[in-house]
C-alpha cells in the first residue's frame, strides 16, 4: 500500500469515529428523549434531555471538532503531508 493510501485509510478511520460520536449526540440520544427526561441524572439541576438540547450536545460538538482537527493534524504529520510555507 502506498503512503497515500495508508494516509487515506487512517483519515477514513478517523472520520468514522468522529461520525459515530456525532451520531450518538445528534440523533442517538434523542431516540430516548422521553426516557432520559425522567432520569435522575440532572446536569446543573436541569432535566437531562432538556440539558442536552440546550447545552450538552452543542458543547460536545464544539469539543469534537477540535479533537478531530488535532487527530487529523497528527495523521497528516505522520505521513509528512502537512502543509509547508508557500504551498498555496
Partner 1 sequence: MIKGKFIDNLPKIYGIYTGGFLVFIILMSIAEQAGMSKELIGIFFVSFTVLIYALIGWLSRTLQSDAYYVAGRQVPTVFNGMATAADWMSGASFVAMAGGIYFKGYGYMALLVGWTGGYVLVAALLAPYLRKFGCYTVPDFIGTRYGGNLARFCAVLVLTLASFTYVTAQINATGRIASVALDIPFNIAVYVGLASILMCSMLGGMRAVTWTQVAQYIVLIIAYLLPVFWISSNIGAGFFPHFMLADEVARIAELEGQFGFVKNSAADMATVPKGLAQITKAHSEVNATPWAFISLAICMMAGTASLPHVMMRYFTTPSVRTARRSVGWSLFFIFLLYSSAPMLATLSKISLMDPNLATGIIGKSIAEVQALDWYQNWNQAKLMFVSDFNGNGTLELNEFFMKGDAVVLATPEIAGLPYVISGLVAAGGMAAAMSTADGLVLAISNALSHDIYYKIINPKAETAKRLIVARILLVLIGFAGATIAALEINDILGSVIWAFDFAMSGLFFPLVLGVWWKRANAAGAVAGMLLGLGSGTAYLVWVKWYAGEGFLGITTNTFGLVGASVSLVAMIVVSLITEAPDSATQKMVDDVRVPSGKTILGKQ
Rounded alpha-carbon distances, angstroms, from residue 64 to 21, 22, 32, 44, 68: 8, 8, 22, 22, 6
Give the residue, chosen from 1, 6, 7, 74, that forms a contact with partner 1 under the rule CB under 8 A. 7
Q: Is 52 exposed, middle or buried (0-12, 13-18, 19+ CB in 10 A)?
A: buried
Distance in Å, CB of 1 to partner 1, minimum: 14
Which positions lie near partner 1, rule CB under 8 A? 4, 7-8, 11, 15, 18-19, 22, 25-27, 30-34, 37, 42, 44-47, 49-50, 52-55, 57-59, 61-62, 64-66, 68-69, 72-73, 76, 80-84, 87-88
Amino acid at each position: 500500500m502506498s503512503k497515500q493510501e495508508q494516509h487515506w485509510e487512517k483519515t477514513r478511520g478517523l472520520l468514522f469515529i468522529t461520525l459515530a460520536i456525532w451520531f450518538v449526540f445528534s440523533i442517538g440520544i434523542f431516540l430516548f428523549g422521553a426516557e432520559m427526561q425522567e432520569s435522575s441524572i440532572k446536569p446543573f439541576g436541569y432535566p437531562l434531555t432538556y440539558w442536552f438540547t440546550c447545552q450538552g450536545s452543542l458543547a460536545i460538538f464544539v469539543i469534537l471538532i477540535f479533537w478531530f482537527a488535532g487527530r487529523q493534524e497528527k495523521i497528516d504529520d505522520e505521513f509528512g503531508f502537512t502543509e509547508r510555507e508557500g504551498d498555496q
